[in-house]
């Protein structure tokens, strides 16, 4: 027997949005910023392979009219009153940076608060969450313009269109990865060194000679990068001309491999030098002085793409001076752990780097520097836009204070302040951005036209009236997969469900960390193996308790969801975290009363029954067990006649399993691949145990050191198997872990409310699978003969066993009195 399973929400079915053969968006207003095209009552048809065919009576010539004109077999989505645009593209981000306060130790060293290696591990473990936040922001493609070599694995992960057949779903249903399309560069070729970021796979590599540049580009080319980036840092020790030969060599070698080159250059003369040497892309605004006519002409003549990244210029200074101005979108859709870290006042004074101390001491100076930057950068952007230089929207997300995903909407605000119209801003984030993305993919995103990839964002209000409406997102479509905002948030009208997902992941890792201190604590785990590896090294018990309390506080701050399942999920996590904290105190040696411990660990208190209750049952049992000796001795002697011989145990057990499974399948649809194996073991303290393995598999062990009585055949088969622990865990894994992505159910902490409900449901399963008369008839007909027992004694056997079950609460009372110090161990045992 074991405590195992899940709360009632485990039975909920999650409707996965599968890509239909054809999807038709009708009655919406189509906005194609690349051509300034606006079409009322448009029809957009998305084919199964993720391509778009578009048309209505006004623009039928733009597509295959025959295909467009019929909606037969299409899944129709009525977009009346809504606005349909190409998905947004952020052309300047860094996945190797989280956006939190610890992500750039070369800028502010906070290793004493959070070691950089832990920061990088967190970033890698949260990539799925980061991907989802981009989609939630309507961003269906991003360009990572520089990071470690593991950047190429990020691209592979994001661009793998996962189509997993989910057991139990209709044939042909698929799940598409919730990730934007990703283009990447590898490590930045730099004029300066950043050893603080080097953990063996540095994101920034200092190159000292043209020969080194040629060699490093060849190394990068082997990874097939989408572009190569130069970090052209200029200061008094690194003048423009000193690095220019390396810039030239880098560009020559890159172009020889047909790879474009992007350059970080924020000074006018640095940017001019980069373009003169052959750069294809400038990834920042010029911020030191106004651009001149010659520079504008140079960019136009060379067909340069410029990404202004306005938002990043304010975020370091505002964060360090405690004047961060996150937008509502960033607060709602940014990662809550990242956002929480940006409060520099929470860092102990003795660990604050000098740069932050100075900013806190002189906050006005920080704002003044930002103003001076924008006084140059914003007019420069307007000048270049008016001259028809190609501008691609980008944020530099991942830098301190620049939030992955929704930072794009702050970028839009600043572009508006520069004087760009909503249509121009949207063009920068779609058609122009697709040019920077580049390659075959870039040639087929950023517009809504025949043959383009089905990456769309559907808005509730018109962004041409106000660019602020660009964040009023109803639906995101990535490669033909339709995501309602609800599916990306898991709760309508509240902070992103991805917030809860991030907290749930931390909860899982805390449970695994607790398992390092308490060998019995983690009963089952089938989440990512690397999380278990990361938990090794023993986070202290105090640290676990503190983090559990912090997670509860963060859960409480997320607005109440309107969705009942999300409400139950939140309540479940809160209770589990409370139990985790309680277990920490118990393992540390704190003693609680029986009911206090029960409530702390299981969120329940067992009923108290008077001794007279049990005496009445014993009185009824006495005449059924005549003979000499105590009642307990007589009972033990009597029931020896009902033991299943070990050599017949498997045959009897398999008959019981078969019957329980057939009866369960008549009412519950199970994953097709579910199964369990039975093992017979010795030297265990229990009679039977279910070890859930994940992937809908269990190992059920039966301890043959203990006598197995005939009633245990059905009890074990139903309790541990069907419809008990095995079934419940399989449904839990399918419906919540796989279908909903609720990772908290991939781990089972034994001392928690989950156990109470699990054991209760498994016990109840025995009564569901057979009524009393049905069980008696089945056992007499099959199990008793198979065990070599006399079926005529079945009624006698169960008359006694039913009374013994009523006595079961006596063990609770004995345990309560012993734990409370009212009796000693010997008295409790008798």
Residue 555 lies in a domain: no
What is the 8-class DSSP label of residue 9?
A: G
What is the 8-class DSSP label of residue 318?
A: H
Range of the domain at 823: 611-829
Residue 93 lies in a domain: no
What is the reported pLDDT for 530? 79
Instruction: State how far the Cα of 180 lies from the Cα of 487, in Å rounded to an integer.
Output: 15
What is the reported pLDDT for 51? 59
The pair of three-digit structure tokens given for residue 79, joined into one six-digit string = 């977009």
- The answer to whether 25 touches 448, Cβ cutoff 8 Å, is no
Number of other residues whose CB lies within 10 A of the CB of residue 94 = 27
Say whether the peptide bond before residue 419 is cis (omega within 30 degrees of 0): no
pLDDT single digits (tens) 621-646: 999 999 999 999 999 999 999 999 99
- Residues β-bridged to residue 390: 305
Instruction: State how far the Cα of 473 lies from the Cα of 343, in Å rounded to an integer.
Output: 29
Residue 673 lies in a domain: yes
Residue 312 lies in a domain: no
* Short-list 421, 409, 437, 473, CA closest to 89: 437
- Mean pLDDT for all residues in the chain: 88
What is the reported pLDDT for 558? 82
The pair of three-digit structure tokens given for residue 804, joined into one six-digit string = 């013994």
Q: Which residues of the chain have pLDDT under 70?
A: 1-21, 48-73, 161-177, 489-498, 562
Give DSSP secondary structure letters for 151-190: HHHHHHHHHS---PPPTTSPTT--------EEEE--SEEE
Residue 309 lies in a domain: no
Residues with Cβ within 8 Å of residue 800, at least 6 apart in sequence: 621, 624, 625, 635, 638, 639
Residues with Cβ within 8 Å of residue 703, at least 6 apart in sequence: 681, 682, 684, 686, 687, 688, 689
Residue 414 lies in a domain: no
Instruction: State how far the Cα of 52 lies from the Cα of 64, in Å rounded to an integer.
Output: 10
Instruction: State how far the Cα of 572 lies from the Cα of 54, in Å rounded to an integer.
Output: 46
What is the reported pLDDT for 19? 38
Q: Count how many domains the chain has.
A: 1
What is the 8-class DSSP label of residue 94?
A: -
Residues with Cβ within 8 Å of residue 496, at least 6 apart in sequence: 133, 136, 332, 333, 488, 489, 490
The pair of three-digit structure tokens given for residue 333, joined into one six-digit string = 């859709």
Residue 185 lies in a domain: no
* Short-list 52, 36, 134, 90, CA closest to 436: 90
- List the end-to-end C-alpha distance of the chain, in Å, as a whole number: 22
What is the reported pLDDT for 1? 37
Instruction: State how far the Cα of 103 lies from the Cα of 88, in Å rounded to an integer.
Output: 25
Residue 396 lies in a domain: no
């Amino acid at each position: 027997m074991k405590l195992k399973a899940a709360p009632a929400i485990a039975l909920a079915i999650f409707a996965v949005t599968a890509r239909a053969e054809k999807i038709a968006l009708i009655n919406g207003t189509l906005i194609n910023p690349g051509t300034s095209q606006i079409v009322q009552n448009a029809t957009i048809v998305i084919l199964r392979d993720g391509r778009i065919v578009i048309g209505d009576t006004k623009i039928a010539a733009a597509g295959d009219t025959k295909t467009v004109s019929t909606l037969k077999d299409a899944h129709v989505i009525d977009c009346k009153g809504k606005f349909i645009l190409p998905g947004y593209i952020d052309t300047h981000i860094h996945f190797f940076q989280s956006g939190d306060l610890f992500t750039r130790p070369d800028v502010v060293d906070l290793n004493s608060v959070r070691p950089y290696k832990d920061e990088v591990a967190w970033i890698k473990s949260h990539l799925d969450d980061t991907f989802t936040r981009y989609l939630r922001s309507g961003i269906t493609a991003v360009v990572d313009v520089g990071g470690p070599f593991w950047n190429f694995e990020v691209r592979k992960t994001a661009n793998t269109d996962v189509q997993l057949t989910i057991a139990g779903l209709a044939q042909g249903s698929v799940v598409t990865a919730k990730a934007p399309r990703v283009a990447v560069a590898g490590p930045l070729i730099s004029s300066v060194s950043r050893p603080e970021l080097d953990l063996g796979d540095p994101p920034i590599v200092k190159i000292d000679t043209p020969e080194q540049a040629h060699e490093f580009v060849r190394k990068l080319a082997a990874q097939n990068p989408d572009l190569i980036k130069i970090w052209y840092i200029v200061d008094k020790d690194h003048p423009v001309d000193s690095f220019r030969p390396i810039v030239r060599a880098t560009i020559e070698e890159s172009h020889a491999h047909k790879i474009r080159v992007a350059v970080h250059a924020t000074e006018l003369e640095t940017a001019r030098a980069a373009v003169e040497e052959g750069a294809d892309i400038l990834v920042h605004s010029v911020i030191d002085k106004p651009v001149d006519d010659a520079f504008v002409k140079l960019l136009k003549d060379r067909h340069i793409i410029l990404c202004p990244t306005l938002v990043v210029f304010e975020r370091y200074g505002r964060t360090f001076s405690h004047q961060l101005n996150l937008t509502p979108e960033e607060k709602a859709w940014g990662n809550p752990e990242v956002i929480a870290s940006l409060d520099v006042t929470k860092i102990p004074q003795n660990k604050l780097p000098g740069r932050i101390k100075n900013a806190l001491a002189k906050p006005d100076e920080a704002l003044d520097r930002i103003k001076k930057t924008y006084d140059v950068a914003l007019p420069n952007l307007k000048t270049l836009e008016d001259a028809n230089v190609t501008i691609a929207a980008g944020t530099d997300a991942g830098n301190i204070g620049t939030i992955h995903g929704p930072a794009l909407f702050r970028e839009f605000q600043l572009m508006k302040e520069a004087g760009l119209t909503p249509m121009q801003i949207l063009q920068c984030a779609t058609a122009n951005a697709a040019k920077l993305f580049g390659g075959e993919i870039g040639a087929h995103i950023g517009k809504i036209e025949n043959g383009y990839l089905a990456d769309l964002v559907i808005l509730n209000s018109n962004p041409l009236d106000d660019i602020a409406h660009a964040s009023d997102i109803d639906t995101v479509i990535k490669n033909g997969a339709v995501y309602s905002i609800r599916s990306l948030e898991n709760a309508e009208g509240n902070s992103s469900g991805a917030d809860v997902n991030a907290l749930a992941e931390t909860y899982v890792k805390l449970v695994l960390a607790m398992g390092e201190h308490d060998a019995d604590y983690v009963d089952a785990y089938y989440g990512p193996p690397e999380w278990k590896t990361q938990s090794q090294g023993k986070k202290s018990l105090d640290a676990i308790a503190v983090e559990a309390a912090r997670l509860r506080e963060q859960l409480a701050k997320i607005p109440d969801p309107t969705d009942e399942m999300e409400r139950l999920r939140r309540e479940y996590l809160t209770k589990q975290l409370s139990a985790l904290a309680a277990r920490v105190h118990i393992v540390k040696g704190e003693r609680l009363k029986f009911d206090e411990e029960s409530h702390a660990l299981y969120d329940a208190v067992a009923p108290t029954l008077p001794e007279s209750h049990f005496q009445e049952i014993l009185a009824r049992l006495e005449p059924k067990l005549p003979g000499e000796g105590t009642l307990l001795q007589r009972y033990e002697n009597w029931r020896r006649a009902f033991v299943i011989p070990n050599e017949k145990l498997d045959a009897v057990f398999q008959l019981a399993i078969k019957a329980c499974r057939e009866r369960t399948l008549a009412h519950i649809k199970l994953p097709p691949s579910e199964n369990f194996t039975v093992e017979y073991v010795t030297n265990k303290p229990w009679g039977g145990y279910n070890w859930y393995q994940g992937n809908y598999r269990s190992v059920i062990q039966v301890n043959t050191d203990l006598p197995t009585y005939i009633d245990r055949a059905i009890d074990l088969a139903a309790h541990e198997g069907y419809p008990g622990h095995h079934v419940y865990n399989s449904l839990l894994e399918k419906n919540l872990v796989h279908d909903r992505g609720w990772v908290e159910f991939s781990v089972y902490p034994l001392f928690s409310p989950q156990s109470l409900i699990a054991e209760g449901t498994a016990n109840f399963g025995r009564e569901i699978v057979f009524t009393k008369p049905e069980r008696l008839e089945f056992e007499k007909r099959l199990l008793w003969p198979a065990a070599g027992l006399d079926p005529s004694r079945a009624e006698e056997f169960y008359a006694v066993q039913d009374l013994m079950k009523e006595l079961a609460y006596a063990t609770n009372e004995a345990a309560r009195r012993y734990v409370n110090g009212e009796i000693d161990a010997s008295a409790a045992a008798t």
